Amino acid sequence: MLNISDFNNNLLDWYQANKRDLPWRRTNDPYRIWLSEVMLQQTQVITVIPYFEKFITNYPSLDALADADERRLLKDWEGLGYYNRIRNFHAAVKEVQSTYGSEVPNNPESFFKLKGVGPYIGGAVQSIAFNNLLAAVDGNVLRVMARLNLDYRDMTKASVQKSIKHEIESIMPLEAGDFNQALMELGATICTPRAPKCIMCPVQEHCEAYRAGEVAELPVKKKAKAKKEIYYNVYFILNDKDEIILREQQGALLQGMYELPKYDIDTSVESIEEALGLTLDHPNIHVGSGKHVFTHQVWYMEGYVLYTKDAHPDFIALNEVEELPMSKAMQKIYRQLEA
């Protein structure tokens, strides 16, 4: 049986003495705390730090970000991935600006109605910024709780995650923000997926998996589905004016980013000519290959140069390409042309 008082004291004392010095921990500004949590979703801390610092320099207030041009935001987000995060955040801060006088609502019910705010973001921001007693359950926290409780349930199930959220809220002290961050910090630095540092763990005496010698078996996660593999030919279509065709992408994955025309590898140049309404010089010139791994799919790309003398509305001057937001996947193949 968990001794709640001892557990909480051990965890919080350890956190105060050992927490990492991260830029979003040096502020009480709910906007900046919210921004950091949006960036940290599915992204490592070391990757987020320079992006966070760039954003608070370029957009130091909620109003500054709400008033920003979406293309500029996407360009600044370029390389961080999961671009729906910044689009949803932009929409949400615009609503905060218009509905709540640019003040992030200190009210979970109102905050959870904002675009892109789910259980984790809502719990993290409301607890860290306002000390509301809500859990923030991420992968680190699920791992810690599975080991503490010798819990062999499948941690990928929403019902299990909801159960753990309720459990954490039932033992949460008044220092809700520090408590949530302490659990996450423990998972990130001590109770790691592989080679956990159990000998250094501040709550080792409370851990049932450690007592049973079963730490390495937890947490249980169902095997991920194999990623879908997609093969593309990507075309650098150039003219004699030092221009290249780039198109604004549609669809949920990379909406608003710019891409080179890409087609299934079995698509003929003649079909591309018809699709684009262009006459293209043959043959193709191969310039390199690229691969990019998304959450649910993998792109394999082969890059080819084609030339045309025709006009097209998607032609952009080569010296302006750097100003446009481009996904990391497309950047990988575009660098082949630069090289």
The residues annotated as belonging to the active site are 37
Give the whole-angstrom CA distance, residue 72 versus residue 103.
23
What letter does residue 68 receive in the DSSP assignment? S
Contact criterion met (CB below 8 Å) for 304 and 282: no
Q: Which residue has the tokens 């010095």?
A: 21
DSSP output for 21-55: --GGGG---HHHHHHHHHHHTTS-HHHHHHHHHHH
Token code pair at residue 269: 């140049």
Contact criterion met (CB below 8 Å) for 172 and 165: no
Helices (H), the chain: 4-18, 30-40, 45-58, 62-66, 70-77, 84-99, 108-111, 119-130, 139-148, 158-171, 176-189, 208-212, 269-276, 328-338
CB atoms within 10 A of CB 143: 23
Give the whole-angstrom CA distance, residue 121 versus residue 138.
10
The SS3 assignment for 238 reads strand
Peptide bond into 193 cis (omega under 30): no
**277 φψ region: left (φ > 0), alpha (ψ -120 to 50), beta (else):** left
